[in-house]
Amino acid sequence: WTSTSEGVNVEHKVFLHLYHDAALGERQTIALMRDLQIILDKKNANEAVDKKDWKKYSAFLFQNSKTQEWCLNAKKVQNACKYHGYFAIRTNTIDDPFQSLIIYRERNIVESAFRQFKVLNESDRLYATGTTYKGKLFIYMLAQAIRMMMCVTASNHQPNAKVLPGDSFDKAMLQMQRLQASRPAGKGIYIVKEIPKKTRDLFETFKIPFPKKQIKD
């Protein structure tokens, strides 16, 4: 691989690691067949098909000239499925394919968690640079790590078959946000209001210590 830096070509030694994941291939095949079946059903029912979906999958379908029924092109589907589960990793630093795969998966976990957190917070972009960007990124990653830890804790903690409100982590967070503390005029302390039982149950589920009744300013 060749890169250009300040008008000078720099040669890089690159390692190309090839992999096959049977489980991944099975998931990809199931997803393809599911999407094709949805489009096939719509075409035979004379329903509209999304233009993007039709552009992507039309090559796998054909219309029988006698019955006018839409069918799958089995040969094209088979040719597409035979490559499912295969992927490659290219790196200029790691020559060990197993170590390369471990690092790749670790990076994927971080990226997936970050994308999920951005969606949950409706943050499509980070409009910041330099130190501000790094600070925001750190806060987002820290918050996502805490969120994931709380989700795992909640899933492992089921006293008396208790579950999250509506079986939703977001609803649990909204309920916990209702807990408030007020500061009396002229005093340097905050007084925590009485915690409802449902909120106390959530604190126990997430293994979070109950807040003190009085918090110093």
- Cα 43 to Cα 195: distance, rounded to the nearest angstrom: 56
Q: Is 138 exposed, middle or buried (0-12, 13-18, 19+ CB in 10 A)?
A: exposed
H or E element, residue 147: helix 130-156
pLDDT number for residue 172: 80
- Which region, left, alpha or beta, applies to residue 6 given φ > 0 means left and ψ of -120 to 50 means alpha? left
Distance of CA 2 to the CA centre of its chain: 33
Other Cβ atoms less than 10 A from the Cβ of 200: the count is 13
Length, in residues, of the chain: 217
Question: Which two tokens mark 103?
Answer: 């690092």
Residue corresponding to tokens 């126990």? 204
Classified as helix, coil or strand, 8 is: strand
Classified as helix, coil or strand, 207 is: coil
pLDDT number for residue 35: 94
Which residues lie across from 215 on neighbouring strands? 190
pLDDT number for residue 9: 80
Distance of CA 14 to the CA centre of its chain: 30
Angle between helical axes of 97-120 and 130-156 (0-180°, round to 10): 90
Residue corresponding to tokens 């030694």? 13
- Digits of tens for pLDDT over the chain (217 positions)? 777 777 778 787 889 999 999 999 999 999 999 999 999 999 999 999 999 999 999 999 999 999 999 999 999 999 999 999 999 999 988 999 999 999 888 888 777 777 766 666 555 555 545 566 677 777 878 888 888 887 777 777 655 545 676 667 778 878 877 787 887 777 778 888 888 888 888 888 888 788 788 877 6
Are 206 and 153 in contact by the 8 Å Cβ rule? The answer is yes
